[in-house]
Amino acid sequence: MTSRRITALGAALTLTALMGTGAAQAAVPTSTQAVTAAAPSASAAVPAFNDGYGLTLVREDTQVHSPTDFTITVTTKQLSGKHRIRILLPTAYDTDPGRRWPVTYFLHGGSGNVNDVAAAPALHSDSMITVVPDGGLKGWYADWVMQNTAEGAASWETFHLTQVVPFIDANLRTRNDRAHRAVVGLSMGGFGSLHYAQARPDLFGHVAALSGGIDFGMWQVRAAVLGTELNVTGAWCASSTSGSPGSGQCTGFGPVVDSDAIFGSPYPFFDADRVWKAVDPAAPANLAKLSGTGVTLYTGNNDLIDVHTEAASNTVKARLDQLGIPSRLVNYGNGASLAPSCDGGHNYGCWAPAFADYVPRLEAAFAAAG
């Protein structure tokens, strides 16, 4: 019997036809180039963290980048190995000890890591705490269907939503209601942000997806997921820290896993793709869960990836309109209307100014919530 799974060769041919053979990530502009994590500094003050919610701190791996920017490392039974969480604090966090702060969770893209946040300076705000949890090279912010692949345990959604969020609230002075909590992400993280806002509307009152893979009804988006599973060159890459400065190259997506590993079979026959449909952010039933949530979408349309994120964003926007759910879509096309650094492509030259546009609006929404 012929296997229904997609082979690496088949995925490579599909993705090459879809996106070409070049790297999908454009270089980060010098002004927003992500920085390498600093070595641990014993003298720098970092808030005291305690283990909890299934997370165990690896204290010797703490990295301090500045007094308001540090990275902790944790282990959990939900994931194999160690995983980092980068945390950006407002300048007044230490000097105003009676104040509690809104929190924004930033979900990085495929082949990325927690240090990618350095390429979006607006996310280091004096009005909120920003938390950047590891999402894996190809975690897709999901509890994988297969837990016995080369990746080992891979329950990313459980890690983020039932462990990281309450862990942060327990260890930092946060405002822990949905009106003061946001989730934002780009590319793979754009899927994650919209999916998490739908899965847990009790947690998140605000969501933003930038150049997101947010319509699993599109074969191009499903092909992108398969490309990351099979580590195919040309899959959607959103890393700002990979490769040498200016190279625009990604390091890849880690070990090859089964094409059904994350969401099960992608084939729309006999309900084989039921997991894909269940988590599809563009599904009307899932979009209906965003009633009462502030929704913002950003996309360009000027490269072989964002032409598809534009289509996905347009679909989501149209369906939200049909449901009567307010939302904001910023389609900056070739980038000319957004910033000189933006070419309308799938890169931080566009995402950094998009966050610069979004964060003040989010800060105002937090402030209006009291």
Separation in Å, CA 169 to CA 247, 254, 365 = 38, 31, 20
Is the pLDDT confidence value at 30 over 60?
A: no
Local structure of residue 25 (DSSP, 8 states): P
* pLDDT above 60: residue 124: yes
Q: What angle do CA 317, 318, 320 make, to 5 degrees?
A: 65
- Residue 52, in any domain of the structure: yes
Q: Do the domain assignments include residue 3?
A: no
Query: Which structure tokens are listed for 165?
Result: 């969020």
Residue 2 falls inside a structural domain: no
Predicted local confidence at residue 144, as pLDDT: 98
pLDDT digit string (tens) for 295-339?
A: 999 999 999 999 999 999 999 999 999 999 999 999 999 999 999
The CATH number covering residue 146 comes to 3.40.50.1820
- Specify the higher pLDDT residue, 151 or 44: 151
Report whether pLDDT(365) > 90.
yes
Residues present in the chain in total: 370
pLDDT at residue 44, rounded to an integer: 55
Tell me the torsion sign for CA atoms 51, 176, 194, 128: negative
Q: Assess whether pLDDT exceeds 80 at residue 20.
A: no
Q: Is residue 42 predicted with pLDDT exceeding 80?
A: no
Confidence of residue 153 (pLDDT cuts 50, 70, 90): very high
**Is residue 58 included in any domain, yes or no?**
yes
Residue 10 lies in a domain: no
- Domain-embedded: residue 353: yes
Residue 83 in any domain: the answer is: yes
Average pLDDT, the chain: 88
C-alpha closest to that of 27 among 341, 355, 353: 341
**Residue 3 pLDDT more than 80?**
no
Identity at 214, one-letter amino acid code: I
Residue 6 lies in a domain: no
Q: 240 pLDDT band (50/70/90 cuts)?
A: low
At 366 the three-state DSSP class reads helix
| pTM, entire model | 0.90
How many structural domains comprise the chain? 1
Residue from 223, 217, 204, 158 nearest 296 by CA? 204
In sequence order, the β-bridge partners of residue 133 are: 85
Q: What domain range is 141 assigned to?
A: 20-241+249-368
